[in-house]
């Protein structure tokens, strides 16, 4: 990561004023009015005070359970009962589980709750008698309490964020495709930053697009961007697309005025990626640091996906023709034989007659051209429901619905008017058809039986059409 993940302020970042919530719990209406007056125009640590008032411990309990971002509680000891305030502290810490909110205990009768014992036995942060608490001192007490709250919140947020990152790492590393990984990235960032799922998109730059205007495709998106998945970058709103292009072109994570765009370089991720995060509210320093740490996990996940994709390609793709190979055929055939759709599926093998002779006469370059021609015509002729694979040499397989895959029509793809074939020196194709409804064995055995049927058919000459018969 290092320099590649340094956050760069291209435009002034959002500086929305923080709001510090203070809960005053007291059944004395006069004291509540005096507190409200003292805090009415008080600014604290660059933010304003939002005062919430409760006139009973029961009311305060409900407010504390509802609002988890109260920075400070000004709490009278004596409310409904002589120890109501002390019981509220225990509920806040032990029942609600809030350890960050600061508590300042206030009393008009010090003898009912001696300061030494209260400070020793309860998790409170300060203790004052009401007669000592002037407006100036109240401001001092609030400043110290809110500063402590802000620091504790930052530590708690960082701890939760790091724990979340650790827990999410396994999910990221188990991903096997860019789509699967990017979907998980969106979910994890949403949780990490406590964002709405309306404004996140993950895009991958096209290979070789390190140009002034990078091209990219949207791999995954949420909310208002969801319909843009698989489209190019122009499908996004102009300002969003511009921010992503700026990130890809600068090869650096950007923190703009209304968004953050994470950058993942191809050296670490296999391809250049950018993740757009709509951050209409300002991200604090802790969240930005968590994003940097999370970026490292994302990079490793993207690298693993790139490595897995490459291994998958090597294992299941034909190097010459860039179509599925024998391994891919066996895998799909095995899935088909185990599915309910088996009875509606058919396997057709086609073999170019006298291909070895043409290869010898005209060279391997000509032979590769012929194989490419066959592969292209087959790919163009069928939908994604049909698997086209090269089994070996000049032997191809077509696996799909029997309504679409018919040997006679496959061979007809290569015929031209008044000419038997469009394959140069290769004059004919032989084929065999296996209706999977007639077969009960494994995928490997099915392919072997189909190959044996094709071999038997070719003994009769060129341009043969065989059909697998389980009784033979």
User: Cβ of 138: how many Cβ atoms within 10 Å?
Assistant: 19
For residue 72, pLDDT beyond 90: yes
Question: Of 388, 381, 377, 368, which Cα lies nearest the Cα of 320?
Answer: 368
The pLDDT value recorded for residue 198 is: 55
- Output phi, psi for 277, to 5 deg: -120, 115
The pLDDT value recorded for residue 13 is: 39
The pLDDT value recorded for residue 211 is: 47
> Do 49 and 20 form a contact (C-beta atoms < 8 A)?
yes
User: Cβ of 176: how many Cβ atoms within 10 Å?
Assistant: 12
For residue 422, pLDDT beyond 70: no
pLDDT-wise least confident of 7-11, 100-104, 317-321: 7-11
Query: How buried is residue 340: exposed, middle or buried, by Cβ count under 10 Å (0-12/13-18/19+)?
Result: exposed
- Output phi, psi for 385, to 5 deg: -70, -20
Instruction: Give 429's strand partners.
Output: 352
Residue 340 or residue 304, greater confidence: 340
User: Which domains occur in the chain, in start order?
Assistant: 19-154 (3.40.50.2300), 174-315 (3.30.450.40), 326-467 (3.30.70.270)
Residue 264 or residue 388, greater confidence: 388
The pLDDT value recorded for residue 165 is: 66
- DSSP run (H or E) holding 322: none
Q: Count each helix (H run) and each strand (E run) in the chain, helices first.
A: 14, 17
CA 413, CA 408: separation in Å to the nearest integer?
9
CA 231, CA 253: separation in Å to the nearest integer?
22
pLDDT digits 0-9 by tens, 255-299: 877 788 888 877 766 678 888 887 666 667 777 777 777 777 777
Identity of the highest mean pLDDT range in 74-88, 267-281, 298-312: 74-88
CA 318, CA 25: separation in Å to the nearest integer?
74
For residue 357, pLDDT beyond 50: yes
The pLDDT value recorded for residue 273 is: 83
Task: Quote the pTM value.
Answer: 0.49
Which pair of structure tokens corresponds to residue 114? 């001696």
Residue 6 pLDDT level (bands cut at 50, 70, 90): very low
Please give the DSSP secondary-structure letter assigned to residue 365.
H
> Do 391 and 383 form a contact (C-beta atoms < 8 A)?
no
Percent with pLDDT over 70 in the chain: 81
The pLDDT value recorded for residue 324 is: 94
CA 276, CA 240: separation in Å to the nearest integer?
8
For residue 16, pLDDT beyond 90: no
The pLDDT value recorded for residue 266 is: 74
The pLDDT value recorded for residue 190 is: 73
Largest CA distance in the chain: 114
Residue 437 or residue 309, greater confidence: 437
Residue 438 or residue 199, greater confidence: 438
Percent with pLDDT over 90 in the chain: 27
């Amino acid at each position: 990561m290092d320099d590649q993940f340094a956050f760069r302020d291209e435009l002034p970042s959002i500086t929305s004023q923080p709001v510090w919530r203070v809960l005053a719990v007291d059944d004395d209406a006069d004291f509540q009015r005096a507190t409200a007056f003292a805090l009415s125009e008080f600014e604290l640590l660059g933010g304003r005070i939002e005062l919430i008032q409760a006139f009973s411990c029961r009311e305060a309990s409900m407010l504390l359970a509802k609002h988890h971002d109260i920075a400070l509680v000004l709490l009278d000891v004596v409310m409904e009962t002589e120890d109501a305030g002390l019981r509220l502290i225990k509920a806040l810490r032990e029942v609600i589980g809030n350890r960050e909110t600061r508590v300042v205990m206030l009393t008009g009768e010090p003898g009912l709750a001696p300061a030494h014992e209260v400070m020793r036995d309860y998790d409170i942060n300060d203790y004052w008698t009401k007669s000592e608490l002037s407006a100036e001192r109240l401001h001092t007490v609030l400043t110290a309490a809110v500063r402590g709250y802000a620091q504790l919140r930052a530590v708690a947020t960082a701890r939760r964020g790091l724990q979340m990152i650790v827990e999410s790492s396994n999910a990221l590393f188990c991903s096997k495709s860019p789509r699967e990984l990017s979907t998980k990235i969106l979910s994890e960032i949403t949780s990490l930053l406590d964002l709405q799922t309306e404004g996140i998109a993950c895009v991958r730059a096209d290979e070789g697009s390190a140009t002034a205007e990078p091209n990219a495709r949207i791999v995954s998106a949420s909310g208002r961007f969801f319909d843009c998945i698989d489209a190019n970058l122009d499908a996004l709103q102009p300002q969003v697309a511009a921010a992503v292009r700026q990130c890809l072109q600068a090869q650096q994570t950007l923190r703009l005025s209304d968004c953050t765009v994470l950058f993942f370089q191809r050296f670490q991720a296999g391809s250049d990626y950018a993740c757009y995060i709509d951050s209409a509210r300002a991200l604090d320093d802790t969240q930005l640091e968590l994003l940097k740490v999370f970026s490292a996990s994302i990079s490793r996940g993207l690298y693993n996906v790139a490595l897995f994709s490459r291994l998958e390609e090597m294992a299941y793709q034909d190097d010459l023709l860039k179509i599925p190979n024998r391994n891919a055929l066996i895998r799909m055939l095995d899935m088909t034989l185990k599915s309910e759709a088996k009875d509606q599926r058919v396997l057709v093998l086609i073999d170019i007659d006298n291909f070895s002779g043409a290869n010898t006469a005209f060279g391997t370059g000509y032979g590769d051209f012929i194989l490419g021609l066959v592969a292209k015509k087959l790919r163009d002729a069928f939908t994604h429901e049909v698997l086209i694979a090269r089994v070996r040499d000049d032997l191809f397989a077509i696996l799909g619905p029997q309504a679409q895959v018919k040997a006679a029509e496959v061979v007809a793809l290569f015929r031209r008017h008044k000419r038997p074939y469009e394959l140069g020196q290769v004059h004919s194709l032989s084929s065999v058809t296996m209706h999977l409804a007639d077969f009960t064995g494994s995928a490997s055995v099915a392919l072997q039986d189909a190959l044996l049927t094709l071999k038997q058919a070719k003994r009769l000459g060129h341009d043969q059409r065989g059909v697998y018969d389980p009784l033979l």
